[in-house]
A and B are shown apart, each in its own frame.
Chain A
Amino acid sequence: MTETATHTAGTFTPPARFAVPGRIEVSGRAATTWRTATLTEIRRETPRASTFRLAVPGWAGHLPGQHLMLRLTAEDGYRAQRHYSLASAPDDSGHIELTLDRVPDGEVSGWFHTVARPGDEIEVRGPLSGFFAWPGDRPALLLGAGSGVVPLMSMVRHHRARGLTVPLRLLVSARGPEELIYAREYGTETTPVFTRTAPAGVPVGRLAPGHLAPLLADPPAGGWEAYVCGSNAFAEHASRLLVAAGQPVDRIRIERFG
């Protein structure tokens, strides 16, 4: 085999093409600047999840699906930082919203759920990463479970706020109605899937081929861009269902907890 010395990475042809390109360019400056954010409101969503509204002067703006990094600092200088998805749609309010599950023994989420009150200051940097972003251009098929619905809700809210006509569907899995985050906000674009308990007349069970078949049998022009967010177990399950239903692997974007 002969190869020339003028190789570029483009000459390597992978056996498959699963990984998909990012959707947007990301600002390096926004990603590296820590900003002080002030908590302005706390809203309970479910017994385990609450939404925290933050005023962030100088926030660079984000696209639905992006996340930020957040840090808390103790008196002795000790810091804990975590990545969280943005729940709010991009707007010019100078505010952003995060919805956080209360993780057992959660160092950061524990502070938010037991100590935090309006007026508290924390630090954030972002928005980060362009891979899971949805600019509102392509038809979006959103599959989320638990608090995995958070970045997807930013997309739903963006779709509504801008009056977008591009098709968007959300399948959201929760253990039961009381665990369904944003339950009051969903409209006809959303199908909840209840895995443990459901209201009378609604089936109980995991996300199944039957949920996806009607959507993928008759996809919109240009096809769906699929966004999957949740635990690794959910992401594996949902992405396999998508592939089995005919969704191209390079049109599936996955964000897993961790």
Chain B
Amino acid sequence: MLMANLALPRYWAVYGLLLQVLLFLLYQPALSIASSLLFALLLTFQAWRLYQNKPALSNRQINTLLAPLLLLMLLQVRQLGVLNLMLHILLLAAVARSLTVQQRGQGLQLLWVHYFAIACCFIFYQQMSMAILIFALALLNLYLQYRLFAPAESTLQPKRLLSIFALSFPLWLGMFLLFPRLPPLWQLPNQNMASTGLGDELDPGSIEKLVQSDALAFRVSFLNERPDKADWYWRAKVYEDFDGRRWQVNARFNSRQRRAMATELPAFSASAPLVKYQILAESSYQTDLFSLGLPVSWPANLVAKPAALMASQTPLTQRISYSLQSRLQPIPLASPAEKQLNLLQDTANPQARAFGAALATQFPAQPDKVVQALSAYFQQEPFFYTLTPPRLGQNAIDQFLYETRSGFCSHYASATAVVLRAAGIPARVVGGYLGGNWQENQQYLQVRQRDAHAWVEYLTASGWQRYDPTAAIAPERILEGIEQTLSDNERALLSGWQDNWLGQLALQWSHLDYVWSVWVLGFNQQDQEQLWQRLRRWEYWSVLLYSLGALLLLGAAVMLRQWVRQRADHAHQAWRWLTQALGTAPAAGCTLSSWLTTLAEQNPAQQQALERLRKLYEAAVFNDDAAALRLLRRELRLQRRSLRRLARQRKSA
């Protein structure tokens, strides 16, 4: 093609470089330090080349440069992971190609790779601000594409752009809302990142660390009545194995049998209050999700784990939104094995276990009484709730119960579970989040890592009862949230900057981000089906369709009329009528007018009528006079008989 050989202007390459620098910055989470340096070097070289106006590299030069770099990257595959390696190669392809581009035809591959690389940014970033930036990059790439195919001196016309936008935006939106969505077809490599949130192990100090983070954990909007604040215990993990110091998640949560178990719905009592809610969970690189009480209905893409926990099938690499329905009731016992598992004791902490045994003899087979006694114990003895507890040694529980007596929720929860097990009551520690910030204007609950919490579940005849020992020591933790519970000094430990105007701005932005997450990121197959159903149920469809049909018919009629008119313009029509009425047509080379004149001369009887016809014909055809055409038609109708007679005479002659 001729156009493909046109030279590219310099500013094209400069814009391309800008785009690549931004891509390079966006790709930072995927790049190792060595490759970061390498790309920086390549981009600097390109900038220098453009500044100095040096010619582009030849294909051969770039290949000799690329081969070792590619090898270098392939050697890092272990360290990088497949996804990161792919991103490396993509970026390398883009940067290397831009070093060789000189003519318009060569820019196409570069643009294609750019589009793909830009789309890959969304694997890391889904926040609204980043999404806007990435879409802006896509538009810049689109502009570069336009430049490849447009005349060199043409400029973008705002009016034209607006009309293009007006055309494409409804299409875009419509496709996003209505284009069929599929479940994941196959597993793609994902980002290897450290997981955030509660871990699979619960150390005496692990929650304190988590609480110092201001990061968002998840957001909830309630679809029916909001439950009482005291019930906002978001369960995420259940710890059942205890080694004397540290609690761990039992292996049964990670076993492959959980799918089989998930199919049976738990027995729930219909009298317990039902909560319907939607959760928008931030990416945690874990599979565990959050739920209230006993979930009774969940979307198909989630997995129900033992102990009524919810999980996703793959680690959360991006925000997901899911809707649940829960009964606020004790969780039923799954099997006798579960009971046995939660009675296991360790040899450590003799004092705590003796305390439990004493409680058991005091209240035999009365778990609720034992728990009450324990609560009373915590309240009567000088126990403190603090974010900075002293370090504990070997018999951590004994030390906490009888020496330091100050700790955070995990200390109280694990001590309680140990004492209850010693008293012969099956008990386990539950990790999750408590409460959250209710956003009144936006009507959603914001739960941050700061709200991480641990509590206990113990088994009674009706199931696993929730017991939160922290409530005995620091009831305001449950009612007000963590900030109110801590002293001023400790509060300073929480990275808090919510009070100034910047904090307010950040909060507003986070609300906007929430709307974005719910409507854009959270829009899934389920929502789409609902949308389709709602569209189908719309009662005015028939009206719309009928009126559309009527409009179409009307349009077709108008077009048909126009077509008929065009087909039969005056000359044609007049010709057809006259020749039909007279039974013959004039000989070739003879005009209709002169033919009529000769006819009039030959037939003196009809001379006047024929002369009149001729005049009307001439007016209709040569003067384009519609009135004359109508008159001609009337005249022909009036003279029908005499003309037919004339035709017969001519035939017989």
| Same assembly | no
Interfacial residues, chain B to chain A (CB-CB below 8 A): none
Query: Which of A's residues lie within 8 Å of B, judged by CB?
Result: none
